[in-house]
Structures are given as structure tokens and as C-alpha cells.
Amino acid sequence: MFKSKRAKILLSIFVVLILVGAGFATNAILNGTLSTFAANRDGGSRPSNKMGVGTITGNVTSNDGLSHDYTVFLLKKQVGGGYAGSGNIKTKGSYTFSNVATPATYRVMVYMSSDCAVGGGAGSPEVFLNAGRTETIKTLKLISLPYIKGQMTVNGKPPVKSTLNASPKISLKTNNITVASMSPDANGYYKFSCLAGGGNYNVSAAFNDNTQKPIAKYGAAYDVKLLSLPGSIIDFKF
């Protein structure tokens, strides 16, 4: 009889615990606080049905150590693959995307607003963003290539503004082969971009003095050895 009475007591306690647990679960469902969980790619867990916003931050730089203008694009992964743009930021280094829709997978693409960047840009790995979380993208480094640039003047003025009826021309050679040529702009400036680092170049300037009879021709040239970042500045003064 004692054992039977004890069994009844234990059974009653067990039933009460079940009822209490059911009550908590019902209340959680009614209040929207009960979520199912799915495994995240990084080994953790994430609410699979919790909507909200998060933040994605990062930094971008280049191998020449100079200040550049960058455009950072935020891309959201679509169901079935592919990405769709979710905004962009112009920056000189750091960036922050706030109020980013979650849960979702994102990546960023960065482009340098300069004369030359190998491949045009750089992309990050994917990150999964949860509501209320901040994900920091590893610093992205773009590769910049060196330049040769400068200004050409005649009697202290750009050729087109001088008293000479000049026909200015800047030429670039490597291995005794002309690889590029141009006329300086209205202020006498020129620039050869995206050149090979470590290369040897010869840059020359020439113009005609059409005020003389016969026409006089003037020129000068400089050698640039082992061109390195960020580049070389060569001015021609006649």
C-alpha cells in the first residue's frame, strides 16, 4: 500500500510538470519567442525564422600605400544562387553598411577610382548576417600599378599657351620600342598609367617652333630605371 501511494504521488508530480511545460511552450508561441534553430556554416547556430537588421563593416586599401577613392558594393545572395545589389558606399578606406536585412548571406565588391587597378576590383568571401549582429569583412587590398607623369612647359607656359605655334608630343619607350604617345593637356600635363613595376622606360618630349623659318624642333628625354610605386614625375622645361 505504501508503494502504491508513493507511485501515485510521483505520477501526480510528473503530470504537473508536463502541464507546466506545455503552458510555457504555449505562452512562448503566442508571444513569438519560440524559434527553431539551424546549423550555421561556421559551426554555430542561428535562428532560422528571426527577421531583423544587422551591420556589415570593413576596410579597403591598396599596395601603393596612397589614399584612393573606393566604391564598395554590398551584394545579397539570392535563392538558387547569384547576387543582387543592396547598396554601395564611397570611401577612402573604412565602410559600414547599417540596417542590413537579416537573416541573409552577403559579400562585398570593391573598386578603386584610379587610373589602374589590376582586375578592376576585389571581392570578399561570403558572410552570414544574423539580426542584431555586426560582421566585419577582412581588409581587402587592391593592386595598383605605377605611372610616369609630369608637365611640359615652354618659356614657363604650357605649349598651347606659349607664343610659339607648337605641336607638343610626349612619347614613352621601353626596350627601344615606343609603347605610348600623347599630347599634353591644356595645362601641359601628361600621364602614362598602368606601367610595369620594375621596368625600364625612356620618356621624351618634343615640340616645333613654327615661328622660325625653317621650323625649329626641340626635344629632351629622360631614362627611368626600375620604375616603382607609386611612380615617377618627369617635368620638361624648355
Among 145, 105, 141, 144, residue whose Cα is nearest residue 123: 141
For residue 17, what pLDDT is reported? 45
pLDDT mean over 152-156:
91
Say if CB 76 and CB 83 are below 8 A apart.
yes
What dihedral do alpha carbons 17, 21, 27, 30 form, nearest 10°?
-140
H or E element that contains 104: strand 104-112
Is residue 115 pLDDT above 70, yes or no? no
Residue 100: alpha-carbon gap to chain centroid? 19
For residue 214, what pLDDT is reported? 86
Is residue 212 pLDDT above 70, yes or no? yes
Most confident of 29-38, 134-143, 157-166: 134-143
- Grid cell of 235 as nine digits: 617635368
User: What CA–CA distances, in Å, run from 118 to 123, 142, 227?
Assistant: 13, 7, 17
Q: Give the model confidence (pLDDT) of 98-108 as tens digits.
A: 999 999 999 99
Percent of the chain with pLDDT over 70: 76
What mean pLDDT value characterizes the chain? 81
Residue 99: alpha-carbon gap to chain centroid? 20
Say if CB 90 and CB 69 are below 8 A apart.
yes
The CA R_g of the chain, rounded to the nearest whole Å, is 34
Terminal CA-CA length for the chain: 121
Q: Give the model confidence (pLDDT) of 213-232 as tens digits.
A: 888 888 999 999 999 988 99
User: Cell 606601367, residue?
Assistant: 195
Task: Considering only residues 109 and 45, tell me which one the structure prediction assigns the higher pLDDT.
Answer: 109
For residue 36, what pLDDT is reported? 31
CA angle 66, 196, 143 (to 5 degrees): 40
- Domains of the chain (ranges, CATH numbers): 52-142 (2.60.40.2190), 147-237 (2.60.40.10)
Q: Give the model confidence (pLDDT) of 63-113 as tens digits.
A: 888 888 999 999 999 998 899 999 999 999 999 999 999 999 999 999 887
Task: Considering only residues 212 and 179, tell me which one the structure prediction assigns the higher pLDDT.
Answer: 179
Q: Give the model confidence (pLDDT) of 2-24 as tens digits.
A: 445 555 555 555 544 444 444 44
Say if CB 195 and CB 147 are below 8 A apart.
yes
For residue 108, what pLDDT is reported? 96
- Grid cell of 164 as nine digits: 610659339
Q: Whole-structure pTM over 0.75, yes or no?
A: no
